[in-house]
A and B are shown apart, each in its own frame.
Chain A
Amino acid sequence: MAYLLGIDIGTSGTKTVLFDERGNTVHSAVEEYPMYQPHIGWAEQQPQDWWNAVVNTIKEVIKKSGVNAHDIKGIGLSGQMHGAVLLDKEYKVLRPAIIWCDQRTHKECDEITEIIGKERLIELTANPALTGFTASKVMWIKNNQPEIFERIHKVLLPKDYIRFMLTGEFATEVSDASGTQFLNIGERNWSYEVLDKLGIPRNWMPDVYESAEVSGTVSEKAASLTGLKQGTPVVGGAGDQAAGAVGNGIVTTGVISSTIGTSGVVFAYTDKVSIDGKGRVHTFCHAVPGTWHVMGVTQGAGLSLKWLRDNFGNMEISLSKFLEIDPYVLMDQEAEKSPPGSQGLIYLPYLMGERTPHLDPHAKGVFFGLTAKHTRQDVIRSVMEGVSYSLRDCFEIIRELDIEVNEVRASGGGGRSRLWRQMQADMFNRDIVTINSSEGPALGVALLAGVGAGIYDNVPQACEATIKRESIQRPIPENVEVYDKYYPIYKGLYADLKDKFKEISMI
């Protein structure tokens, strides 16, 4: 039996999972590390913490599984995207990494937009200038820490720093590189136009690989630290979104995923480059060679229901302790008692502003259409529906880009709710499916490693061999009709209230 190792360098910790070639989890290990917030809106992590966690979890997985390191045929890396790891010419880390959720770079985003031009930037990088992306972080260093900027030799993404530590190679791959804002998405290589205009030396960037290509092998030093066999191939891997999609089987035309975690993501596969000129959805290179993915993001998805649970849900929380049932399950049962459409109550999930489709940090949450007859049941249901409407916004843009959708795969915490899945089936008017694996990104990059190591022919075949459907829910025609009636009202509300959101933010 061959084994594959998937390593996911997340924000709260690193998860390393050993799979067998059928995709079964053999053993997994997690090690957490802190995030530093030296100022409001700043977020940094120490690359050394990641490396320590990677070493420790690999050691643990090999030891506890009892698998011979010789049988581990490939390693895939995944992780948080967008972070900037800066190395000097001795390959030392120059400062803590500024990570994806850091918001300090508003000014730099304006600067980038100014220099490149808004439309041109979207044409090249498929995204408007965003605070999360790597480019604005590098520009912030340029503007605010010139003494560090001067000493930069390489700029790496978080998982690519781990690759360097494992293999000694400077390399990245197309999916994660798409989140730097330095990549020409259509050409799947660095955009020299962007780099040159921003004054970033081209040689700071590592080589770009396809995700399933072998980018290097485990070095002697890394082998002795981790217990891996020297020479084990390490493939490009993928950013957590693309890796998660591979782990979900979103690797062929017609299959998309809808993930309700803290935020919500609708993720679609496409074999032609499709860029939304308005920048409402992100287009990235996918981890399947020669393909792309388009993704819309709802900021306050699971977060909205969590907010409701924590602020309206004292009763459910208390009851859940006595019944030993998750409070979300109780809330589901309550929501189920309210009819589709929540009797006209509509929730806008903009608790943290909104990304898709509005790109508006000032947007706020709203309950619209309250009447005296509305109950807790309606309020809970309306929150789940509001999040689903927002996911539908993402879905509609994906449809506008002419991407075929036949099946939606539900994942994330919200995907565990049968009711919430049904709402999505009804809103999208598509079958909604759950799959057997919940390892997401770690499985995805392990499969990429399997392709790189020659265990599978290609990525779709790897998914076919390992991922199975567990449940299918079909849209209910009457509900589809109800949601089709309310959806235009939902959509109209943001347009109505846009200016008011801004005004209230000013007070």
Chain B
Amino acid sequence: MSFFMGIDLGTSGVKVVVIDQNGQVVGTGSEELTLDTPGPNWAEQHPNQWWSATCSAIKAALADGGDIGNKIEGIGLSGQMLGATFLDKNLDVIRPCIIWCDQRSSEERDFIEESIGMEHLLELTANYPLTGYVAPKILWLRKNEPEAYERVHKVLLPKDYLRLKLTGELAAEVSDAGGTYLFDVKNREWSSEMLEKLDIPGDFLPDVYESVAVTGQLRKDVAEELGLREGIPVVGGGGDQTAGGVGNGVVDEGIVSSTIGTSGVVFACVNKPQIDTKGRGIHTFCHSVEDKWAVFGCTLAAGGSYKWLRDKFSVVEKEFARLRGMDTYDVMDLSAGKAQPGCGGLLFAPYLIGERTPYPDPDARGLFFGLTLRHGWPEIVRSVMEGVTFSLRDSLEILREFGVNVKQVRASGGGAKSPLWRQMQADIFNTEVITTNVEEGPAVGAAIMSAVGSGYYSTVQEACKKIIKPLSKTEPIKENVELYEDLYGIYKSLYPTLKDTFKKEAEIMKKWSL
């Protein structure tokens, strides 16, 4: 038996999964993290906490597996993207990491757009500039904390800080590197032009590797502390999106994943770097698979919309679930199941916290549209599920526009647990939808990368074929497909119709502090 460890450094916690070479989970461990918000729209975490949580989670996973520390043959890293961890020349942390959801650097984002120009930025980085990327954060530090900036020797992404602690090596890998906005995604290397134009020293950045490449070996002292063997290889790993893609087996063109967590992500693997030039909130990053790229769109409030409906409105369901020992979501599914597909013309737009794909618009707002007396609670519940799925289809359509021939969608995240929601996805996407045996996508994906990097498998594709197995399969129902096609047409037109009104309301609310 060969065991491989995947570490996923999330925002709310660290998860560690150990699998055997067949993908069987042999041990899991996790440890929670806290988030600091020292200013409005600021979000920080301390790397020291990441490291101590990681150590605890590793120990917990090894204990869970029953003394398997000396059987681990490789470690892969995954985690939250876009965070800026600043190190001084002693490789000590200068200040807390400014993480992905921090919005303080919006001026710097605008500066980048103005000084380089959108078209050229797309050529250089393959992505539209976002406040959350690392480059604006570096510029923010330079302007607002110059004494800290003076001391900067290296800038690392969150999971790469764990690598430093594990192996003593400074390294990045291609998938996560896209989130710095200093990376030439097309050529899979740092963009010297971006660095130069923004006047950021090139040696701030570590060497960049492919995700499956071995970037270093586990240090002796760390190995002893954690109960692992010294010298086991640590591979590049991947950002949580691409590592999740690997964990879902989305490693060849034609397979797409649809993940309904708090947010929703439709993720595809493509053979060349497809770039959306229309500004529709699509990310194009290097995939954690050699010679492949990842493109994905994001619905900000996917499961989040359903959770909102649960927490704010489903009082009776909650009570019923409690009495029956059921999950409230399952009771809501029962309600939704009573409504007909299409909800008799009731549509929901899930823009509860603004939207990313296909409308990057913080002012967009949620909508129930088309209410009549025939609509009751079941239609309300179902329309939320359908609206989220229509929004995911918006992303899917852009991927289809890129020429991706979508043959199969792999459903994951909490939403994939609902058979009703899977059927909706099959019907609204008009593709078969499957679920797989892998539950912790990013952690398992990282473990799979380490199995390739350590030489057990020769390619990621081969590993995925061996490890990932379908659990359920849902085929589209023809009548539903046709009905949803018509409704999607109207759904799609609602945002453009209301765009100006969203903006007007946001302005009024801001101006008058309503």
Q: Is the CB of A497 within 8 A of B505?
A: no
A134-167: which have CB < 8 Å to B?
A: none
Residue of B nearest to A353 (CB): B372
A344 touches B486 (CB 8 A): no
Taken together as a complex, chains A and B put the C-alpha atoms of A379 and B309 apart, in Å, by: 12
How far, in whole Å, are A489 and B497 apart by their CA atoms in the complex? 13
Given contacts A312-B377, A315-B315, A492-B501, is CB(A370)–CB(B345) below 8 Å?
no
**What residues of chain B lie closer than 8 Å to A365, measured between beta carbons?**
368, 370-372
- Cβ-closest chain A residue relative to B349: A370
Residues of B in contact, count (CB < 8 Å) = 44
Contact A500 to B494, CB < 8 A, known contacts A369-B365, A371-B353: yes
A369 to B, closest residue via Cβ: B365
Interface size classification for chain A: 35 or more
A504 to B312, CA, bound (A): 28
CB neighbours of B501 from chain A (8 A) = 368, 489, 492-493, 496
Residue on B nearest A339 in the bound complex, by CB: B514
Evaluate contact between B312 and A366: CB separation under 8 angstroms.
no
Decide: A344 and B365 in contact? CB cutoff 8 A: yes
CB of A344 within 8 A of CB of B514, answer yes
Whether A504 and B373, one on each chain, are in contact in the complex, defined by CB atoms closer than 8 angstroms, is: no
Whether, in the assembled complex, B490 has its beta carbon less than 8 Å from a beta carbon of chain A, the answer is yes
Does B279 sit within 8 A of A, measured CB to CB?
no
Q: Check A368 against B365 for contact (C-beta < 8 Å).
A: yes
Docked Cα-Cα span, A485 to B507, in Å, equals 11
Q: Please name the residue on chain B nearest to A349 by beta carbon.
A: B371
Point out the residues of chain B lying under 8 angstroms from A312, CB to CB: 313, 377, 380
* Complex contact B490–A504 (CB within 8 A): yes
Is A343's CB within 8 Å of the partner chain B?
Answer: yes
Chain A residues in 8 Å Cβ range of B505: 344, 346, 369, 486, 489
Q: Which of B366, B372, B497 contacts A497 (CB 8 A)?
A: B497
Majority SS of interface residues in chain B? helix
Residues of B within 8 A of A503 (CB): 489-490, 493
Given the complex, which residues of B lie within 8 Å of A364, measured CB to CB?
Answer: 345, 369-372
CB distance from B178 to the nearest CB of A (A): 28
Q: Using known A-B contacts A311-B377, A314-B316, A372-B301, determine if residue A366 contacts B504 with beta carbons closer than 8 Å.
A: no
Which B residues touch A344, using CB under 8 A? 365, 505, 509, 514
Known: A366-B367, A489-B508. A496 touches B316 (CB 8 A): no
Q: Which residues of chain B in 448-504 are interfacial with respect to chain A, using CB atoms and an 8 Å cutoff? A: 483, 486-487, 489-490, 493-494, 497-498, 500-502, 504
Is A311's CB under 8 angstroms from B380's CB? yes
Whether B342 sits at the interface, judged by CB under 8 Å, is yes
User: Which residues of B lie under 8 Å from residue A370 when comparing CB positions?
Assistant: 351-352, 365-368
Which listed residue, B353, B369, B500, B508, touches A366 by the CB 8 Å rule?
Answer: B369
A489 B370 Cβ-Cβ under 8 A = no
Within 8 A of A (CB), among B311-338: 312-313, 315-316
Q: Which of A452-482 contact B (CB under 8 A)?
A: 481-482
Contact with B along A263-303 (1 / 0, CB 8 A): 00000000000000000000000000000000000000001
Taken together as a complex, chains A and B put the C-alpha atoms of A492 and B512 apart, in Å, by: 19
| Contacting residue for B371 out of A315, A351, A500, CB 8 A | A351
Closest to B318 in A: A315
- Our pick among A352, A485, A496 for the contact of B514 (Cβ within 8 Å) is A485
B504 adjacent to A368 (CB under 8 Å):
no
Q: Are A366 and B371 in contact (CB under 8 A)?
A: yes
B347 within 8 A of A: yes
Task: Determine the main DSSP class of A at the interface with B.
Answer: helix
Residues in A whose Cβ lies below 8 Å from that of B380: 311-312
**Is B375 an interface position by the 8 A CB rule?**
yes
Q: Which residues of B contact A368 (CB under 8 A)?
A: 365, 367, 498, 501
CB distance from B506 to the nearest CB of A (A): 8
- In the complex, which residues of chain A have a beta carbon less than 8 angstroms from the beta carbon of B304? 372
Q: Is the CB of A369 within 8 A of B370?
A: no
With A312-B313, A315-B315, A369-B365: A504-B514 Cβ-Cβ less than 8 Å: no
Q: Once the chains bind, are B373 and A507 in contact (CB under 8 Å)?
A: no
Which residue of the partner chain A has the closest CB to B369? A366
Q: How far is the CB of B371 from chain A (nearest CB, A)?
A: 3
Q: Does A91 contact B (CB under 8 A)?
A: no
Determine the chain A residues whose CB is within 8 A of the CB of B500 once the complex forms: 496
Query: Which residues in A have their C-beta under 8 angstroms from that of B490?
Result: 500, 503-504, 507
Q: Are B371 and A485 in contact (CB under 8 A)?
A: no
Given A315-B316, A504-B490, A507-B486, does the pair A485, B508 have CB atoms closer than 8 Å? Answer: yes
Q: Is A436 an interface residue, CB under 8 A from the partner?
A: no
CA A503 – CA B486 in complex, angstroms?
Answer: 10
Is B376 in the interface zone, CB < 8 Å from A?
yes
**Contact call B368/A367, Cβ cutoff below 8 A:** yes
Complex: how many Å from CA A369 to CA B308?
14
Nearest B residue (CB) for A352: B373
CA distance A505 to B374 in the complex (A): 13
Which chain B residue shows the least CB distance to A319?
B315
What distance in Å separates the Cβ of B107 from its nearest Cβ neighbour in chain A? Answer: 25
In Å, the complex CA distance between A311 and B314 comes to 11
Interface residues of A in 306-354 (CB under 8 A from B): 307, 310-312, 314-315, 318, 341, 343-344, 346, 350-352
Decide if A63 is an interface residue (CB 8 Å cutoff): no
Contact with A along B32-59 (1 / 0, CB 8 A): 0000000000000000000000000000
B374, closest chain A residue (CB): A351
Chain A residues within an 8 Å CB radius of B342:
507
Near A by CB (< 8 A), chain B positions 213-248 give: none
Contact of B352 among A372, A504, A507 (CB under 8 A): A372
Identify the interface centre among A344, A351, A369, A376: most chain B CB within 10 Å of its CB: A369
Residue of B nearest to A310 (CB): B376
**Quick check: is A374 within 8 A (CB to CB) of the other chain?**
yes
A499→B493 CA distance, assembly (Å): 10
Judge if A375 is at the interface, Cβ distance under 8 Å. yes
Report the nearest A residue to B494, measured CB to CB: A500
**7 A-B pairs with least C-beta separation:** A365-B371, A370-B366, A367-B368, A369-B365, A314-B316, A364-B370, A372-B352
The 9 listed contacts between A and B (C-beta, < 8 Å) are A314-B316, A344-B365, A344-B505, A364-B369, A366-B367, A372-B353, A486-B514, A500-B369, A503-B493
Q: Which residues of A contact B (CB under 8 A)?
A: 303, 307, 310-312, 314-315, 318, 341, 343-344, 346, 350-352, 364-372, 374-376, 379, 481-482, 485-486, 489, 492-493, 496-497, 499-501, 503-505, 507
Query: Which chain B residues have a beta carbon within 8 Å of chain A's beta carbons?
Result: 301, 304, 308, 312-313, 315-316, 342, 345, 347, 351-353, 365-373, 375-377, 380, 483, 486-487, 489-490, 493-494, 497-498, 500-502, 504-505, 508-509, 512, 514
> Other CB < 8 Å A-B pairs besides A352-B373, A369-B505, A486-B514, 7 of them?
A312-B377, A364-B370, A369-B367, A371-B352, A489-B501, A493-B501, A500-B494
